[in-house]
Amino acid sequence: MPINQTDTFGKENHVADVLLFHHAQGLTEGIRAFADRLRQAGHTVHTPDQYDGNVFPTLDEGLAYARQVGFGEIQERGVRAAEALPAELVYLGFSLGVLPAQRLAQTRAGARGAVLLESCVPASEFGPGWPADVAVQVHGMDADPFFAGEGDIDAARALVKEAADGELFVYPGDRHLFTDSSLATYDADAAALVTERVLGFLSRR
């Protein structure tokens, strides 16, 4: 069960247990920094490394590695990372990491919520539909060639409409992985807003 904290204004906040999955370039310093920001707010954050320590300077190189290992295997590594953890998790994924995050949120009993960053797949990919009691928040840029150009934004619109508690936040720009502070694609202003909204989401879980 989530732990409650009281902030300086006397408002009660929930402390979430988060399983966070990195994107196709690996468990970068920017992903670690994002996890640390959530920890600073009091949340417990688990950051499994599905790449066995490999980090890639470009998205193309990271995708080539995932292709070599097998996208299915990368996803399964993420799913296995949940096995030793409590059921009451919030699943958070960046881009490629959305696949295990969304799958677990839909299929593993006890999920408290899901945060899907810069990617989303149709709920039918993992079952008959999105669970009614699982909250979801999706973030992406409106001209990102992956999120907007490959249909993810349409899947996100359908998903948040289906969920009882669903939010979709779309930011102006064409960058992919704009939330990773260690990459050239980082957008500080948009990422700050994402962080604020994710922290708000977690405080309600």
pLDDT at 4: 39
Provide the domain count of the chain: 1
pTM: 0.92
CB 14 within 8 A of CB 112: no
Position 84, amino acid: A
pLDDT of residue 1: 35
Pair 39, 14: CB distance under 8 Å:
no
CATH number of the domain bearing residue 195: 3.40.50.1820
Mean pLDDT by 10-residue block, N- to C-terminus, for the chain (205 residues)?
A: 37 80 98 98 98 97 97 96 96 98 96 98 93 95 97 97 96 98 98 98 93
pLDDT for 13: 61
With contact defined as beta carbons under 8 Å apart, do 45 and 38 qualify? yes
In this structure, what DSSP letter does residue 26 have? B
Look at residue 76 in the predicted model and tell me its pLDDT: 97
Write the burial class of residue 175 (CB in 10 Å: 0-12 exposed, 13-18 middle, 19+ buried): buried
CA angle 149, 154, 159 (to 5 degrees): 140
Nearest Cα residue to 105 out of 139, 134, 137: 134
Confirm if 47 and 34 have CB atoms less than 8 A apart: no
- Which domain range does residue 179 map to? 3-203
